[in-house]
Amino acid sequence: MPSIDLTGKAAVVTGSGRGLGLAYAHALAAHGASVVVNDVDEAVAEAAVKSITEAGGTAVAEVVPVGTTEAAERLVNRAVEEFGRLDILVTNAGILRDKVLWKMTDEDFDAVITTHLKGTFTCARAAAVRMREQGEGGSLILVGSPAGQRGNFGQTNYAAAKAGIAAFARTWSMELGRANITVNAIVPVAATAMTETIPAFAPYIEAMKNGEPLPDFLRKGEGFGTPEDCAALVPFLASEAARGITGQAIGIGGDKVALWSHPQEIAAAYADGGWTPDTLAHVWPTSVGAELQSVGIPAPKFPEA
């Protein structure tokens, strides 16, 4: 089995002061990469850097909220100033402003779209410019969500942003392929501050905090585990072992890794000369209407008491 070695490579991980982002930063550093840690809280960012360096890794902090072009360029420039290059970008930064459609404000929508969607765009653009100038390829690892793949109640802004991020990965994989820059979306599922608010998961997460392992029906059946369980995918995708993988959406969590399908036509019907509302109503139930797809993240299958 080949060893994943990122020695000599430099990475930026947005939103890496805690949670999944911190796990990604630790995993990259553990495999030899030098890391720019990013957070909006200076104390949190510095604590993350300290934890990485104490574990034998190399890291510096850049405190800035992602979203703007200026913030993206600061992050890329910090990597170049500190480490002389940029090879890996992980766009993890995100916030939540959950509300149902009729209660969501413009501010709720704009804040989430700015951080997740525009932040991914501006950071990826700045990174792609640098990587193309270096001429040695690179890796863009975009962080998606099951909500972006299937939708989720109360998450108009978040689901839309994450769906857009999956589309970014497919589009940029084509645009950056000649530059040997891979682009993939990862779809992590883990016990974080976000998932702790889900009542069904809460008792298991609390037990995990007290040293108890998560049960197999969560780790395998639901693909649900710790942030560290999700982190292995990042150094793998940043390595030469994954050089042929691009444009994909890859899920990981607990003991499970999975490949998400791209949207595609699954049924079709035809009418000579085109369709009218009446012919659609007549044919629909026995043709494409028989293949309607479910929406939403499936509820966890908890064992019966």
**Residues 117-163 pLDDT 10s:** 999 999 999 999 999 999 999 999 999 999 999 999 999 999 999 99
Q: Which of 5-19, 24-38, 185-199, 270-284 has the lowest mean pLDDT?
A: 185-199
Angle between helices 19-30 and 42-54 (to 10 degrees): 30
- From the list 290, 284, 256, 285, the residue with the least C-alpha distance to 271 is 284
pLDDT in tens, 56-82: 999 999 999 999 999 999 999 999 999
Q: Determine contact, residues 213/5, Cβ cutoff 8 Å.
A: no
Angle formed by the axes of helices 69-83 and 119-134, nearest 10°: 40
Q: Who's near 39: CB < 8 A, 6+ residues apart?
A: 15, 16, 17, 18, 21, 45, 48, 61, 63
290 pLDDT more than 80: yes
pLDDT at 202: 80
Q: Is pTM, for the whole model, over 0.85? A: yes
More confident site: 280 or 300: 280
Q: Confidence class of residue 263 from pLDDT cuts 50, 70 and 90?
A: very high
What confidence tier does 205 reach under pLDDT thresholds 50, 70, 90? confident
Pick the closest to residue 85 from 125, 24, 121, 35 (CA basis): 35
CB 218 within 8 A of CB 300: yes
Number of CB atoms found within 10 A of residue 210's CB: 7
Q: Quote the pLDDT of residue 3.
A: 87
Q: What CA dihedral angle connects 18, 99, 117 and 159, to 10 degrees?
A: 100
Q: Would you place residue 199 in the very low, low, confident or very high pLDDT band (cuts 50, 70, 90)? A: confident
pLDDT at 57: 98
Q: Active-site positions?
A: 145, 158, 162
pLDDT (0 to 100) of residue 302: 77
Chain segment 76-116, per-residue pLDDT in tens: 999 999 999 999 999 999 999 999 999 999 999 999 999 99
Mean pLDDT of the chain: 95
Give the whole-number percent of the chain exceeding pLDDT 70.
Answer: 98
**What is the tens place of the pLDDT at every residue in 176-185?**
999 999 999 9
pLDDT of residue 194: 66
pLDDT at 305 (0 to 100): 58
Tokens 């392929």 belong to 177
Tell whether the model's pLDDT for residue 1 goes beyond 60.
Answer: no
Distance CA 47, CA 148 (A): 31
pLDDT band at 208 (very low <50, low <70, confident <90, very high): confident
CATH number of 10-190+226-260: 3.40.50.720
